[in-house]
Chain A
Amino acid sequence: MSRLGFTDARHLLSRTGFGAEWEEVKRLEVMPRDKAVEFLINRRDYSVPAIPRFSSWQKMVALHNNMSRRRMVMRIAKAEGAGLKNWWLQHMLDTQSPFLERMTLFWHNYFPSSIEKTKAPSLLVNQNRLLRKHALGNFSLLLHDIAKDPAMLVYLDGYENTKDAVNENFARELLELFTLGRGHYSERDIKEAARAFTGWGVHPKTGQFFFDRTAHDPGIKHFLGQRGNFTGENILNILLKHPRTAETVAEKIWAEFINSSRPHPAVVKQWANVLRASNYNIATLMNTVLKSPQFWDQRNRGNLIKSPVELAVGTLRSLPYTLPRNNLAHMLDNLGQCVFEPPTVKGWAGGQEWISTQSLMRRIGLLTNLTRGNLNTVRRKTGVELKLPNVPESDLQNWLLSVQPVKAAPASEGKQRFVRFLVLDPAYQVT
């Protein structure tokens, strides 16, 4: 099989990572396409930087229950939350396996939980580790684990769902967003599923999942045409047998990796079948997706808008610019993608929604500030040296842009000026 070549290598890297580092493009361009895809999928470094100290769940519960000290909960969540966000973003900047982090971020968006509601950094960091563990693993295990994940139980009120006070919140989003999608279930299915999950909670001392038998409704439930004294696990298994669950995954994968327009139903079906046939192996699905004609189709190049994380982290990973103040989390918040703080349970809408007049202004503001810096070699914390490749301007353009620039190149010479021109061109906003 023939070599990937420069342009396809940059396409593969920028779609699956954060930007496309020059050295990486050079490494992949000599590989055949299938080899390059498999190389990326198999390169998984699960190590993460040292986790900051977070207040325990037990402490947060105690503060919350003490009316005179409740205000502390907010204060701690804010301060420790900033540490949590910067911890993950730093890892995105430094990781040796960016695809694994992209997938972790994809699942964070798929199964969102927010610091704003949970006020529990210690639970969210555990959820983040769970998402990374399964990011290229098994969707069935991921779904089961996330349903029992303490941060999720708090975020969607599952921990308050008892047989005497049924709370539908988790059951509703499980059906609407995580598995079947609207139009494939009834309001009754939501109510019955909610009953099955009663008694699932977070232990007030350990912050771990625990099942309170006395709060569980063991009665008969009618769910999606089936009848039985279902438990929460039974409900998840019924959903995993339903073809729509894998289709929902495939639809979101399409929007993340191919094109933000509506996917072709035949492609969704095909990918969903791959996922189900592999017993929900996510790596198998991604192997199919990244080798698919749709992924490589020229018409899909430059047809995804970079997420704020891709834009900011991608620029900082590829070019030797430095952030004036090292508060990436705050900056991403301004751009509309604050990790650990998705706007709703639907996550970030993404696609064209990334660009509003407001966010575009801020994206350009950020890039303008960054590109004021010079392009001297910088040494990152990890010891990696980042420098601008010494290549002709045309190569720089092919590297940094996926489509032709919108504006005319500057008349005056100078690499710094030329890179600045490329980064500030609207074409840099797409991938």
Chain B
Amino acid sequence: MRLTGAAAIAGAVPDIALAAAPPAVHQPRIVVLVELKGGNDGFNTLIPYDDDSYYKHRPTLGIRKNNLIPLQDGMGMNKALQPLKSIWDSGDLAWVQGVGYPGGILSHFRSMDIWDTGAVQGDSTMGWLSRVLPRFKQGLHGIAISPDQGSLGPLEGSQLNTVAMQSPRSFLANARFIEEVPLNRQTAALAHVTQTQHQLVDVGKQIVARLQNPRSRVPMRGAKGQLGHGLQSVAEMIVSGIDAPVYKVTQDGFDTHVGQQGTQENALYQVGHGLAAFAETMKRAGMWDKVLVMTYSEFGRRITENKGRGTDHGTASAQLIMGGRVNRGIHGRHPNLDRVDANGNVAHTTDFRALYATLAQRWWGQANPWHGHNALQFV
């Protein structure tokens, strides 16, 4: 099939009349995953300002109490996250601290594979969402927004119907060339190509239909930068009624080996600013209760700063969760900063699979595929 006619899609919404409005779709509860690429330093994101040990490890990088946003229990947020303060105040923001996995691996790639697959051992490439989404959702499973060839990460998997795109606009501009092809198994490579093309046509049909006949129009204001524009695209698709249960966006710039402060604060500023604008849009669209945002990063950073005023690859980190149904609070235990392993890294206190279990069980109401990792109370 042809997704649209030859008309170029220049505006936000293509002006091609469809024979009929798309059927009403039931929109499932939505998760927006925010990948913090490079390994975000959790200790300077959610700052343990009552822990003397923190300042001992970080004589120059440690953030003082008068220079942060105090939350509760001796923990405060980096000032770059200021736009999120009002969401905390209204009770829709939570943190999980000390998140990691056993035997922390300090390679960006391997560690991100572990986070993406939810498997600490083996070399599965199946995203962790393929253990949850196919159980309750047919059709489209997720959309990853990436400016480049970013991989699907947690949305990877042969059982998942997912697409990566730069923006819905560029997707539609290109999707008009795509024709339906039969699955062809002459070689594994060709099977992959034809399977992908098939998915593309399938998803394209829905996106074209929805963006042309959006349920409502609530534009996101003040989008800036890679993450801001990614979240703007996500907001546009959610508001128009596309039924993807998961979206993924990315913020780069967290691999702060040298001169960490400015670099991390700039990246966190993008996160705070983008998420606040996104939250505001969801509220105006009446979708705030149906959306949950969660950050993740391949690892945290070493508690002891290095001599380049940066930090090297670490283990445990803090992750942020927000949404209309989120239970405010700081969940999990603060890691013991006085006990470090041979690499100088602290022990994690919450297994990352507990976060996935929480989404599966308490957000989507499914059985928990990660036995031994119980759901947390953040939602």
Asked whether A368 and B190 contact (CB < 8 A) given A157-B258, A336-B148, the answer is no
**A-B Cβ contacts below 8 A, count:** 130
Flag if A172 contacts B164 (CB, 8 Å).
no
Stretch of B43-51, B191-199, B270-278 at the chain-chain interface: B191-199
CB-defined contacts of A160 to chain B, threshold 8 Å: 258, 308
CB-defined contacts of A166 to chain B, threshold 8 Å: 306-307
Tell me the bound Cα distance from A346 to B171 in angstroms.
Answer: 27
B107 at the binding interface (Cβ < 8 Å): yes
Stretch of B19-27, B173-181, B323-331, B349-357 at the chain-chain interface: B173-181
Tell me the bound Cα distance from A149 to B53 in angstroms.
Answer: 40
Min Cβ gap B244→A in Å is: 13
B206 at the binding interface (Cβ < 8 Å): no
A53 at the binding interface (Cβ < 8 Å): no
The residues of B with any CB-CB pair to A shorter than 8 Å are 106-110, 146, 148-152, 162-166, 171, 174-175, 177-179, 181-182, 184, 186-190, 192-194, 196-197, 199-200, 203, 257-258, 306-308, 312, 342-343
CB-defined contacts of A359 to chain B, threshold 8 Å: 149
Flag if B196 contacts A343 (CB, 8 Å).
no
Interface centre among B110, B179, B308 (most CB of A within 10 A): B308
Main SS of chain B's interface residues?
loop
CB-defined contacts of B190 to chain A, threshold 8 Å: 302-303, 403, 406, 426-427, 429-430
Contact among B106, B171, B193 for A426, CB-based, below 8 A: B193
User: Across the two chains, which residue of chain A brings its CB closest to B308?
Assistant: A165
Interface centre among B175, B190, B307 (most CB of A within 10 A): B190
Flag if A358 contacts B257 (CB, 8 Å).
no
Interface centre among B109, B196, B200, B258 (most CB of A within 10 A): B196
CB-defined contacts of B179 to chain A, threshold 8 Å: 407
Tell me the bound Cα distance from A407 to B186 in angstroms.
Answer: 13
Flag if B308 contacts A352 (CB, 8 Å).
no
Asked whether A426 and B197 contact (CB < 8 A) given A165-B307, A172-B107, A343-B149, the answer is yes
A176-200 contacts to B, CB under 8 A, are 176, 182, 187-188
Flag if B199 contacts A357 (CB, 8 Å).
yes
Flag if B188 contacts A355 (CB, 8 Å).
no
A-B contacts, 16 of them at CB < 8 A, read A168-B312, A187-B343, A260-B189, A303-B190, A305-B189, A343-B149, A353-B149, A357-B165, A357-B200, A358-B163, A362-B174, A403-B187, A406-B181, A407-B179, A426-B184, A426-B190
Min Cβ gap B314→A in Å is: 12
A146-177 contacts to B, CB under 8 A, are 157, 160, 164-169, 172, 176
